[in-house]
């Protein structure tokens, strides 16, 4: 490949960016990085009615969080700027005038009401929806009459009605369209703003984009885009349409399946490295067995030839598993730094803030093997911070454990632990195992009531490590409270 690869991510600022869009951005970024190319960020904000305040900054924040950094864009500029479409309106108007002058486009005066009635009729007659080219062949006199009525027209592309257009797709191969079924798409709206179809053609040309990677739902528009490139005398970029993302029910991924914006996953405590790894495997693979792949290896091995033609299933359980793998790969210091803000935010409100980060650092090793997201840390650690625990006395008993045995176990533990000067993990384990032998009970019959008494949970981080972090005073206080709950002194 002699020409430098240039890809672009061109989101609309209509809200938090969807994971499907981020998957597209990732593939564009990987392809650019793997080939030594350029990754461009462009903001397509020509639909002012749908723009959400702050969305542009949110998009850039999410990309930065994922470390998908761009080489040219709204904030850093570049030789092909501006990179925000609302700042490029004159370019689109000029392109529309060229197409009109060359007879490759026409003005359409159809009202919104007529178009809605046309669509309803097509649906009723089970016909494919689309514009009927009513204004395509208006005479200059007829156009003048429409102008006199004060109608502001849109500009439509005059699609050639004969022949075929072949999309040479890197992933899907050659896809052929009969031109007569391609709609005369709107290029300029009556408000003077371009549609996506015109704006992205002009921008891709001006910004010298060599490869257009996008979701396969755009394939039906691609023949028109190729025709537009040809009509404007532009070089046609190479196209690669990525497989759709589906939910577990094989329907298009949507909110009913769970979280769909990258911001939601970020707020739930997923790591950017895990998100990158997971999204890369949605439609691409290194081989038939490798699941965990570093960013560096993704850049080294990524190729469009290994992108699948079939839709990818967004498996939330697999993402959670993969995030857990990446969490377990963190050092204690890294994990402490990452879970700290989630614990500050999600621990019960009665816990005093700010938390002691050194205390959190002691807790981090105990939960690293147990949490799947950073947010989980708050669910696993509340008892470390509470002054008093709340639980049911029934937690001490089951088919193999009577209240009497639990009471005996806790009384024995209270006596032994009170005598300890060193509350280290090793000494706690040695002391309590010997106590179980002395009491003539199984180790579990001692450890289980101790776990409930000190954590208010029947499943918690390792008992001895947990007790060592809680400390002697807090453990004894909780054991004595449990004795009272069980009817002892």
Indicate where the chain has its CATH 1.10.10.350 domain(s): 393-485
Instruction: Write down the mean pLDDT value for the chain.
Output: 95
Angle, CA 440 vertex, CA 434 and CA 441 arms, to 5°:
90
**CATH tag for 330-384 (out of 3.30.750, 1.10.150, 1.20.58, 1.10.8):** 1.10.8
How many alpha carbons fall within 13 Å on the CB side of residue 443?
A: 9
- Contact status, residue 387 vs residue 481, Cβ threshold 8 Å: no
Task: Reply yes or no on whether the pLDDT at 2 is more than 70.
Answer: no
CA max distance for the chain: 108
Cis-peptide into 82, omega within 30 deg: yes
> What are 433-481's pLDDT values in tens digits?
999 999 999 999 999 999 999 999 988 899 999 999 999 999 999 999 9
CATH 1.10.8 occupies which residues in the chain? 330-384
According to CATH, the superfamily of the domain at 88-242 is: HUPs (3.40.50.620)
Question: How many residues in the chain?
Answer: 489
319 pLDDT higher than 70:
yes
User: What percentage of the chain carries pLDDT values higher than 70?
Assistant: 99
The Cα–Cα gap between 414 and 145 comes to: 97
CA distance 39 to 72: 7
**CA–CA distance, 461 with 452 (Å, rounded to integer):** 12
Q: Cα–Cα distances in Å, from 291 out to 19, 294, 326?
A: 19, 10, 12
Sheet containing strand 238-242, edge to edge, reads 173-178, 164-169, 238-242, 211-215
- For residues 407 and 432, what is the distance between their CA atoms, to the nearest angstrom? 15
Name the CATH architecture for the domain at 6-76+246-316. 3-Layer(aba) Sandwich (3.40)
Active site residues: 255
Q: What does the block give as tokens for 275?
A: 């998100």
What is the architecture of the domain spanning 393-485? Orthogonal Bundle (1.10)
Helices (H), 66-107: 89-101
Contacts 24+ apart (CB under 8 A), 421-425: 423/467, 423/468, 423/471, 423/472, 423/475, 424/468, 425/464, 425/465, 425/468
Are 342 and 375 contacting, i.e. CB atoms less than 8 angstroms apart? yes
pLDDT (tens digit, 9 = 90+) per residue, 190-228? Answer: 999 999 999 999 999 999 999 999 999 999 999 999 999
**40: part of which helix (H) or strand (E)?**
strand 38-41
Task: Kindly tell me the burial class for residue 201, based on how many C-beta atoms sit within 10 Å of its own C-beta (0-12, 13-18, 19 or more).
Answer: buried
For residues 164 and 481, what is the distance between their CA atoms, to the nearest angstrom? 82
Beta-carbon contacts of residue 146 (< 8 Å; ≥ 6 apart): 109, 138, 153
Phi, psi (deg, nearest 5) at residue 187:
-105, -40
Q: Which residue has the tokens 């300890």?
A: 420
Residue 154 backbone zone (phi > 0: left; psi -120 to 50: alpha; other: beta):
beta
pLDDT digits (tens, 9 = 90+) for 88-147: 999 999 999 999 999 999 999 999 999 999 999 999 999 988 999 999 999 999 999 999
| Start-end of CATH 3.40.50.620 domains in the chain | 6-76+246-316, 88-242
Cα distance between residue 289 and residue 270, in whole Å: 23
Is the CB of residue 398 less than 8 Å from the CB of residue 438?
no
Residue given tokens 């032998």 in the structure block: 437
Give me the torsion for CA of 233, 220, 259, 15, rounded to 10°. Answer: 40
What are the start-end ranges of the E strands in 180-292?
Answer: 186-188, 211-215, 238-242, 245-246
Q: What is the pLDDT of residues 61-81, one digit of tens each?
A: 999 999 999 999 999 999 999
């Amino acid at each position: 490949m002699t020409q430098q690869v240039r890809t672009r991510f061109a989101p609309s600022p209509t809200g938090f960016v969807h994971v499907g869009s981020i998957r597209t951005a990732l593939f564009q970024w990987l392809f650019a990085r793997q080939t030594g190319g350029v990754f461009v960020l462009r903001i397509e904000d020509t639909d002012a009615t749908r723009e959400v305040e702050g969305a542009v900054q949110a998009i850039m924040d999410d990309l930065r969080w994922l470390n998908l950094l761009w080489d040219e864009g709204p904030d850093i500029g570049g030789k092909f700027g501006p990179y925000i479409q609302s700042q490029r309106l004159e370019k689109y108007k000029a392109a529309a005038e060229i197409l009109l002058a060359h007879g490759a486009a026409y003005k359409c005066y159809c009202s919104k009401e007529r178009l809605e009635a046309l669509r309803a009729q097509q649906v009723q007659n089970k016909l494919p929806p689309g514009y009927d080219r009513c204004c395509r062949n208006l005479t200059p006199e007829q156009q003048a009459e429409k102008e006199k009525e004060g109608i502001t027209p849109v500009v439509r592309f005059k699609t050639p009605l004969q022949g075929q257009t072949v999309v040479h797709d890197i992933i899907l191969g050659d896809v052929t369209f009969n031109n007569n079924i391609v709609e005369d798409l709107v290029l300029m709206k009556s408000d003077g703003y371009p549609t996506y179809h015109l704006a992205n053609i002009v921008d891709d040309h001006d910004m010298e984009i060599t490869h257009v990677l996008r979701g396969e739902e755009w394939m039906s528009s691609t023949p028109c885009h190729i025709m537009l490139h040809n009509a404007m005398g532009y070089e046609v970029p190479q196209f690669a349409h990525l497989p759709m993302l589906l939910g577990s029910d094989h329907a298009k991924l949507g909110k009913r399946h769970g979280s769909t914006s990258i911001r939601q996953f970020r707020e739930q405590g997923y790591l950017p490295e895990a998100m990158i790894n997971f999204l890369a495997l949605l439609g691409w693979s290194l081989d038939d067995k490798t699941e965990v792949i570093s960013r560096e290896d993704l850049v080294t091995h990524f190729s469009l030839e290994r992108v699948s033609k079939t839709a990818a299933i967004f498996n939330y359980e697999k993402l959670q598993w993969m995030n857990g793998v990446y969490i377990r790969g963190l050092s204690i210091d890294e994990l402490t730094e990452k879970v700290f803000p989630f614990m500050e935010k999600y621990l019960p409100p009665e816990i005093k803030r700010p938390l002691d980060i050194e205390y959190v650092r002691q807790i981090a090793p105990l939960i690293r093997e147990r949490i799947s997201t950073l947010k989980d840390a708050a669910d696993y650690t509340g008892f470390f911070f509470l002054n008093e625990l709340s639980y049911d006395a029934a937690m001490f008993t089951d088919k193999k454990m009577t209240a009497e045995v639990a009471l005996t176990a806790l009384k024995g533990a209270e006596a032994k632990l009170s005598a300890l000067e060193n509350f280290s993990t090793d000494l706690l384990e040695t002391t309590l195992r010997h106590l179980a032998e002395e009491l003539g009970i199984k180790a579990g019959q001692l450890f289980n009531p101790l776990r409930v008494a000190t954590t208010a949970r029947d499943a918690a981080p390792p008992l001895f490590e947990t007790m060592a972090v809680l400390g002697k005073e807090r453990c004894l206080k909780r054991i004595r409270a449990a004795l009272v709950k069980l009817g002892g002194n």
